[in-house]
Structure 1
Amino acid sequence: MKKALFLGAVLAVTPLAAQAADTSTPLRFVLIPKVVHPWFDKLNTGARAAADMITKTTGQKIEIEYRAPQTADVSSQNDIIERAIATHPDGLILDLLDEKGNRATMDEAIEQKIPMTVFDSLPPEGMNITAVGADFCEQGTIAAERLATLIGKKGEVAIMMGVPTAPNHTLRAECEKKVFAKYPDIKVVATGIDNDSIETGQKQASAIMQAHPNLVGWVACDASGPVGIGQAIRESGKAGKVQEVGLDNLNDMLQLIRDGVAESTASSRPEMQGYWAVVSAWQSAMGQKTPKYIDTGIDVITKKNL
């Protein structure tokens, strides 16, 4: 009921010309994430929920084509974007792996007059594109501050970087480092790179803990890293000795919290990001102006509120 009321409000402020548009032809949006990943499965669920809601409320069928790269590789993602552009969709919904590396294909979409929305990311500088996501700096800051408190604001810590070229991962890392820099007795002794792979994150975390036996805490910059970190902590028998504050709400991350391996996680609500990315894409396809940024907020998940 609330969704229907919301769409009614949106339609109430939509110009009559757009409201009178032909609803017999489906609108097709191509959703391209960073990589095949459980976090993006959650986002895709939210995207399809929004598509169903718009279809039921307006009678305009919304189709979502989900095309994910098998690995977090910019050239592979650009190839998928280019092939999507060739099909002339009504909109592209993108999570950028590299702001600079993705720009040329995005310029191509603009030349083809294909509307774009980005999610879990930030648009390249100068591009007037709606971005949907959490405040990535705030998310990283929350995680780092929680870890600092857990370790008594002293000791050696490490950061798992995710995909170093991804705008959201980079911003989280920068803000985590700023938090740790406030405390003279906290030292960042290592940074791992997991490239959005749980397996890689686990291997990186294990190697770093072996190289730094005095390590007392971990934070991450993506959804895969903290799961890999938690697995490494468990396998090394260091649960309770090495503290972890994770990111996002993957089922494996939540289980690590239940098991006491991780203390908490700061989640950027992937289902909500998918939902509002589709709403924004639909408005763009209807020729309407959309917000510069849609902040979907952050959930701090602990064992108490699971």
Structure 2
Amino acid sequence: MKSVFRCLALVGAVAVTAIPATAIAQEIAVIVKTTSSNFWQNVNRGAQAGVETLDGYTMSFDGPASESDIAAQVNMVDNAINRGVAGLVLAPSDPEALVPSVQRAYESGIPVVIIDSALAQGAEDYYQAFLSTDNNAAGQLMAQTMINAVGPEGQIAIMSYVPGVGSEIGRVGGFTDYIEANSNIEIVNTLYSQSQMATALNQTTDTLSAYPELDGIFGANEPTAVGMGRAIVQAGREGSLVALGFDGNEDLQQFVRDGVLEAIAVQGSFQMGEMGVQTIAKLLAGEEVEEFINTGVVLVTKNNIDSEQAQNVLY
């Protein structure tokens, strides 16, 4: 477990914790990978719900126009530190590039909670908690689902998003390792959309053309899976191959209902935002928190999409 006192003691700022949370309005900054995705907007809704349960706090929400605009996210974090936010909830777009800014927050006595994607190994001392899907386990779950549907042999493709991002490393790494260890399925390629739907659509179209006998395909995040699904429909390939997606916006839900996608793995995005700001408040109150908090994943298929469990995470 970690406490914010570990951070504050380093810089001699323990007196900050003596201010009751209700004494002044304090800003909790939530900075995500991009504001142009339904997934991150659902994180925003969760954060808003979370801050409403807290006395004396406000919440700001920000992120770049694109997940690949790492420099913009670094600037947003630095600006939050400069204006003296009470705490920071951050979904880092790059595991390395955000470390200096998070270290600076640490040295400024600002508690940091990381959500969704991990920072580089060695940065653990600079933040107090990590809230995320267990992406490796989620990737393995989707690989097991693929094997169950395709069989022990065949050809599949992986449509990934931003190489090197913590969630991508765990999710696609877990998927790939499980496929290789538990089947004779060949992974014919792994392509990166940079989380751009149009790019994923074009990449999937090219893949379907290059591999007309493809047995399965995995879209590893929301915009990638949406582009993949649209390409499958345009090629008339729905039902002729096993397509799996990740995340759960309205487009992906409809693909499941229509049989374009066999299943989607849906993260607790709302929970990341809600629990993220609440964890910051606990740290500011001097409470201990778990270093890793699993926000979970639900495998959604046509058979369970209307269940309470699925509806609680779909957005």
With the length of structure 1 as denominator, give the TM-score of the two structures.
0.89
Partners of 2:194 and 2:171 in 1: CA distance: 15
The answer to whether the 8 Å contact 2:255/2:261 transfers is: yes
CA shift, 1:223, in A, is: 2.0
The Cα offsets for residues 111-139 of structure 1, whole Å up to 9 and x where unpaired, read as 21111001112243232320111111111
CA shift, 1:184, in A, is: 4.6
SS state at 1:265 partner: strand
1:192 aligns with 2:191: yes
CA shift, 1:19, in A, is: 9.3
The Cα offsets for residues 150-185 of structure 1, whole Å up to 9 and x where unpaired, read as 112221101112111210111111111111102453
Moved over 4 A (4+): 17-20
The answer to whether the 8 Å contact 2:268/2:295 transfers is: yes
SS state at 1:215 partner: coil
Partners of 1:124 and 1:279 in 2: CA distance: 24
- The corresponding residue for 1:38 is 38
- The corresponding residue for 1:283 is 282
- The corresponding residue for 2:49 is 49
The letter for the 2-side match of 1:170 is I
SS state at 1:282 partner: helix
The answer to whether the 8 Å contact 2:43/2:271 transfers is: yes
CA shift, 1:89, in A, is: 0.2
The Cα offsets for residues 58-91 of structure 1, whole Å up to 9 and x where unpaired, read as xx23211111101112212111111111111001
1:160 aligns with 2:159: yes
Residues 284-293 or 257-266, more deviating:
284-293
- The corresponding residue for 1:5 is none
Summarize the Cα distance change of 1:66–1:22 in structure 2 as closer, same or farther, 3 Å threshold: closer
Aligned partner of 1:69 among 64, 84, 87: 64
CA shift, 1:259, in A, is: 0.8
The letter for the 2-side match of 1:169 is E
SS state at 2:215 partner: strand
SS state at 1:213 partner: coil
Summarize the Cα distance change of 1:20–1:112 in structure 2 as closer, same or farther, 3 Å threshold: closer
How many residues of Structure 1 are paired with residues of Structure 2 in the alignment?
285
Partners of 1:205 and 1:168 in 2: CA distance: 21
The letter for the 2-side match of 1:113 is G
The Cα offsets for residues 3-28 of structure 1, whole Å up to 9 and x where unpaired, read as xxxxxxxxxxxxxx979825131121
- The corresponding residue for 2:178 is 179
1:90 aligns with 2:74: no
Partners of 1:166 and 1:240 in 2: CA distance: 31
Partners of 2:207 and 2:182 in 1: CA distance: 22
The answer to whether the 8 Å contact 1:139/1:268 transfers is: no
SS state at 1:186 partner: strand
The answer to whether the 8 Å contact 1:51/1:278 transfers is: yes
CA shift, 1:256, in A, is: 0.5
CA shift, 1:287, in A, is: 2.8
Partners of 2:25 and 2:98 in 1: CA distance: 28
The answer to whether the 8 Å contact 1:34/1:95 transfers is: yes
- The corresponding residue for 1:105 is 101
The answer to whether the 8 Å contact 1:249/1:269 transfers is: no
1:115 aligns with 2:114: no
SS state at 1:106 partner: helix
CA shift, 1:47, in A, is: 0.9
Partners of 1:110 and 1:167 in 2: CA distance: 20
Summarize the Cα distance change of 1:284–1:245 in structure 2 as closer, same or farther, 3 Å threshold: same
Unpaired runs of at least 5, structure 2: 1-15, 306-315
Partners of 2:163 and 2:17 in 1: CA distance: 41
User: What pairs up with 1:222-261 in 2 under 5 angstroms?
Assistant: 222-261=221-260
1:303 aligns with 2:302: yes
Partners of 1:241 and 1:259 in 2: CA distance: 13
CA shift, 1:262, in A, is: 0.2
Partners of 2:56 and 2:299 in 1: CA distance: 35
Summarize the Cα distance change of 1:22–1:172 in structure 2 as closer, same or farther, 3 Å threshold: closer
Let me know the Cα RMSD of the aligned residues: 1.7
The letter for the 2-side match of 1:39 is F
The letter for the 1-side match of 2:209 is Q
Summarize the Cα distance change of 1:19–1:260 in structure 2 as closer, same or farther, 3 Å threshold: farther
Partners of 1:232 and 1:95 in 2: CA distance: 29
The Cα offsets for residues 170-220 of structure 1, whole Å up to 9 and x where unpaired, read as 111111111110245310001111112222211111112112222111113
CA shift, 1:41, in A, is: 0.5
Partners of 1:44 and 1:61 in 2: CA distance: 19
